[in-house]
Amino acid sequence: MRLLIALFAGALFGSGLFISGMTDTAKVTGWLDIFGNWDPTLAFVLGGAILPMFVAWRFTKGRAPLTAERFPTPSDAPVDRRLVIGSLMFGAGWGLSGLCPGPAMATLGYGGALHWLFFAAMLAGMLLAPMVQHRFFERDAD
């Protein structure tokens, strides 16, 4: 049952990314180009995601999910150097390519070779991240 719900949620999410224009790299870079030819239409996608989730989280109080013991609790991790550097790297990659992980996966079926190249580079970055983290952040603590 849990796998079926995950499959449905993933398909719904991918469809939403496609319909909203989040898989169109030109639209995404237009959204990020606030000092140039800015395209504000993705603001509606952002609002369309935040507002329903705000309401949905209000309804979770005192309830349990269908396939788990409880809903996840928000993280209380501080804003530190690792978070800031990771956010800057994510934003730079998003701005340069017009894709982030969700839309990148949604485009694999129709996006062509460049989308597969981006996806491979994204996976390589995810695999290398623990080594980079250890080298630059945990070594400082020694």
pLDDT at 8: 93
Residues of the chain with pLDDT under 50: none
Please give the pLDDT value at position 123: 93
What per-residue confidence (pLDDT) applies to 4?
A: 92
Q: What pLDDT sits at residue 42?
A: 85
The rounded percent of the chain whose pLDDT value lies above 90 is 11
Distance CA 14, CA 38 (A): 24
